[in-house]
């Protein structure tokens, strides 16, 4: 069995049970097929590994072990592994078949997820990772290509365990596979350390950023450059991520010790998701044929109870949601008169009270629908939007009463003439009796014929009389109650087709209607309206570390305005950037104002007075309480007692930034010098130089100017102030 060409295997049965139907993809390590499990009669995804991998027996042992571990996982967000085996020197893996494509395929079409869609995806994937991590399994290769969708748009993680087996194989992956994987690698993967589940968390954070922005953070020209950038910098989360930004920053720290776990990530994203509006369904590519759109059975609407005859017509809206017409507070007729419209181009029945009303209101992303005009051609079953087609019943034909049947001929057996007069007389008497008994029946027939003719004529007159028609009024801007009253006055009825966001129509008022204003319709026709939800709320974006100019730009992009700007010092936020903002993580109506607090940098404090007799210990404690650094400088002072502050620099009373260093000069007291005995025996010149170095001046000499020094005044050994003068004694 060769896998050199994936199409070569189509039609073959692998492992005695998997018939390969068609190839669906080819990667660096395997070909993937849609296969039929001939034993269980179900379709699976069969991954046939590259032949060179089958030659690595250690890899096959690791592959088998990982396959067994993954098969033990039971989580809706993890692709199930059913079976594995070898045949003809190649290894294969039978897995759950998901037919909605991958996230990679969706992003490659240019589609970008909204913040609410990314949050929903993040919760599902993080919960699946948490389940696997709790059981000792790390994926190691989280990327869009490994996130698959079913036909409902639900996501599952594929290829658990394979990445680890490949990492320990003796083969070398192609460069394309390495580049694709390295784009989502955690920074610790560069260091070659043992990986845990937090590497998957980092990769998921990168994937979620790409889902919304279309760009993978830390894009570099080389793989090594991208990984080096991640090792030293936190994950940059753009403002487009809105309320998810703070969570993804916690999932994208360079150090795994500071990073969220998968369980914590799932919990925090779930908190954010509850604050956002419900996400739209992802436009996944489903290869299975779409089921045809069918008109719902009126006995199966709502909760499944039989529909009452006066419950009103059913209205089809976005995603075929069925909206009961009695929402507006008035029971509606279960059928429409002639001339009413039907969904999907259905034909008419000719019954003036038997045509259901329907309206196509399926639009993209909440945009208000345009007024739907009647269209003749029917709509195909695969179309998402329902087309409203007009239907005119055939004109009633004239009623022609059938002519009454005459009396039955041969009312009795034929009687032959009798030659006997007696017999002839008896026969005559018998005939006269029969005639007398027959006339009441004939009279009843005549009366019945007259009634039929009269009723038929009356019916012909009524049927040929044109039914009254009414002009549909304009309901734009009216409340449901007012709209129902306007229609009731014209013998018309109201149904709410749906509700949509509108930047111009206040919430609760009619924003569009069908039939449109001025249309001529018969009595009891249902007018379907779309009510406004008002302007669609927008998420307040993250403004962290932005300056005011950037804040205005970001808010303008979200149709929000900058409100009041307060300023406050901060020990951590640089001056001029935002510390906090109002309604963070919430949604506001367009045009709402967001208040911000901007940092003025670190706070300023005033240097306290110290040269007022304070001790150094007391002043140092004051400066420390103000978060000012202290540097002690000691000096002699003939006027300031020892241990007392002489001065501070910066000067007392000046304003300084927190953290500034203040130099405190402290007195050592008077500087006293002892007259040394070493001067005895020196010449007068030698003694003068020696004393000068000690800070003692010589004011004169007593005795012979040529004799050696024998003493001093004050005497040798006496302590005097630094800089004072003495007299030398000579001879």
List the catalytic residues: 141
The secondary structure of 347-363, three-state, reads CCCCCCCCECCCCCCCC
Instruction: Decide if 647 contacts 616 (C-beta within 8 A).
Output: no
Half-sphere exposure at residue 718, Cβ-oriented, CA atoms within 13 angstroms: 13
Q: To which residue do tokens 């038997």 refer? A: 354
Spatial CB neighbours of 487, under 8 Å, sequence gap ≥ 6: 473, 475, 493, 494, 527
DSSP secondary structure, 127-147, as one string: HHHHHHHTTT---S---GGGE
**Phi/psi at 564 (nearest 5 deg)?**
-70, 150
Instruction: Decide if 248 contacts 241 (C-beta within 8 A).
Output: yes
Identify whether 515 is preceded by a cis peptide bond (ω within 30 of 0).
yes
Instruction: Decide if 248 contacts 264 (C-beta within 8 A).
Output: no
DSSP secondary structure, 206-250, as one string: HHHHHHHHS--SS--SSHHHHHHHHHHSPPP--GGGGGGHHHHHH
Question: In Å, how far are 164, 318, 589 from 159, measured between CA atoms?
Answer: 10, 36, 43
Question: DSSP class of residue 337?
Answer: -
Strands (DSSP E) along 300-449, which ranges? 314-316, 322-324, 342-343, 388-389
Neighbours of 309 (CB within 10 A): 10
Instruction: Decide if 682 contacts 690 (C-beta within 8 A).
Output: yes
Enclosing H/E stretch for 447: helix 421-464
Rg (CA), the chain: 49
Spatial CB neighbours of 319, under 8 Å, sequence gap ≥ 6: 281, 362
Distance of CA 581 to the CA centre of its chain: 21
Question: In Å, how far are 298, 328, 491 from 332, measured between CA atoms?
Answer: 14, 10, 12
């Amino acid at each position: 069995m060769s896998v050199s060409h994936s199409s070569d295997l189509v039609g073959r049965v692998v492992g005695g049970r998997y018939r390969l139907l068609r190839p669906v993809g080819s990667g660096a390590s395997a070909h993937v097929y849609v296969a039929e499990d001939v034993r269980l009669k179900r379709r699976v995804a069969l991954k046939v590994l590259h032949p060179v991998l089958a030659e690595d027996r250690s890899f096959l042992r690791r592959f088998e072990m990982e396959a067994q571990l993954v098969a033990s996982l039971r989580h809706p967000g993890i692709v199930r592994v059913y079976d594995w085996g070898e045949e003809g020197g190649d290894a294969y893996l039978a897995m759950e078949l998901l037919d909605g494509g991958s996230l990679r395929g969706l992003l490659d079409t240019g589609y970008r997820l909204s913040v609410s869609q990314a949050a929903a995806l993040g919760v599902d994937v993080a919960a699946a990772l948490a389940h696997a991590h709790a059981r000792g399994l790390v994926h190691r290769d989280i990327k869009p290509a490994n996130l698959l969708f079913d036909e409902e748009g639900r996501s599952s993680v594929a290829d658990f365990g394979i990445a680890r087996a490949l990492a320990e194989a003796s083969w070398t992956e192609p460069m394309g596979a390495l580049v694709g994987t390295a784009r989502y690698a955690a920074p610790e993967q560069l260091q070659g350390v043992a990986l845990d589940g937090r590497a998957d968390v980092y990769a998921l954070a990168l994937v979620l950023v790409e889902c919304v922005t279309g760009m993978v953070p830390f894009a570099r020209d080389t793989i090594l450059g991208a990984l080096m950038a991640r090792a030293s910098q936190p994950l940059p989360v753009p403002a487009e991520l809105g309320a998810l930004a703070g969570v993804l920053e916690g999932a994208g720290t360079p150090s795994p010790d500071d990073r969220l776990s998968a369980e914590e990530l799932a919990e925090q994203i779930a908190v954010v998701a509850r604050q956002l509006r419900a996400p739209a369904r992802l436009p996944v590519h489903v290869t299975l044929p779409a089921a045809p759109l069918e008109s719902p059975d009126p006995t199966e609407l709502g909760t499944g109870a039989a529909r009452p005859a006066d419950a009103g017509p059913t209205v089809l809206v976005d995603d075929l949601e069925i909206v009961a017409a009695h929402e507006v507070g008035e029971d509606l007729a279960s059928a429409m008169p002639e001339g009413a419209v039907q969904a999907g181009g259905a034909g008419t029945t000719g019954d003036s009270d038997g045509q259901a009303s329907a309206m196509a209101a399926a639009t993209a992303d909440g945009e208000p629908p345009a007024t739907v005009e009647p269209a003749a051609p029917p709509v195909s079953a695969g179309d998402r939007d329902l087309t409203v087609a007009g239907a005119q019943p055939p004109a009633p034909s004239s009623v022609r009463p059938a002519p009454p049947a005459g009396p039955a001929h041969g009312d009795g057996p034929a009687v032959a003439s009798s030659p006997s007069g007696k017999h002839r007389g008896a026969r005559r008497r018998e005939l006269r009796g029969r005639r007398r008994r027959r006339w009441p029946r004939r009279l009843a027939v005549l009366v019945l014929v007259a009634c039929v003719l009269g009723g038929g004529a009356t019916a012909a007159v009524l049927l040929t009389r044109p039914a009254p028609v009414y002009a549909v009024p304009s309901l734009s801007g009216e409340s449901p109650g007012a709209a129902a009253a306007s229609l009731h006055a014209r013998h018309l009825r109201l149904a709410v087709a749906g509700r949509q966001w509108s930047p111009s129509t206040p919430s609760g008022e009619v924003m569009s209607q069908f039939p449109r204003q001025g249309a001529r319709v018969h009595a009891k026709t249902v007018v379907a309206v779309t009510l406004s939800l008002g302007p669609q709320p927008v998420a307040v974006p993250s403004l962290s570390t932005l300056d005011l100019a950037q804040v205005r730009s970001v808010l303008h992009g979200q149709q929000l305005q900058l409100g009041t700007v307060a300023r406050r010092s901060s020990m951590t936020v640089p001056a001029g950037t935002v510390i906090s903002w109002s309604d963070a993580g919430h949604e506001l109506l367009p045009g709402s104002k967001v208040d911000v607090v901007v940092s003025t940098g670190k706070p300023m404090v005033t240097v306290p007075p110290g040269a007022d007799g304070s001790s150094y210990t007391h002043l140092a404690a004051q400066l420390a309480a103000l978060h000012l650094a202290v540097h002690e400088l000691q000096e002699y002072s003939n006027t300031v007692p020892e241990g007392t502050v002489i001065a501070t620099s910066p000067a007392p009373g000046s304003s300084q930034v927190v953290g500034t260093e203040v130099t405190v000069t402290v007195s050592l007291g008077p500087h006293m010098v002892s007259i040394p005995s070493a001067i005895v025996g020196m010449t007068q010149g030698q003694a003068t130089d020696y004393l000068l170095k000690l800070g003692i001046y010589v004011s004169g000499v007593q005795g012979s100017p040529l004799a050696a020094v024998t003493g001093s005044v004050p005497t040798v050994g006496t302590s005097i102030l630094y800089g004072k003068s003495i007299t030398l004694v000579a001879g």
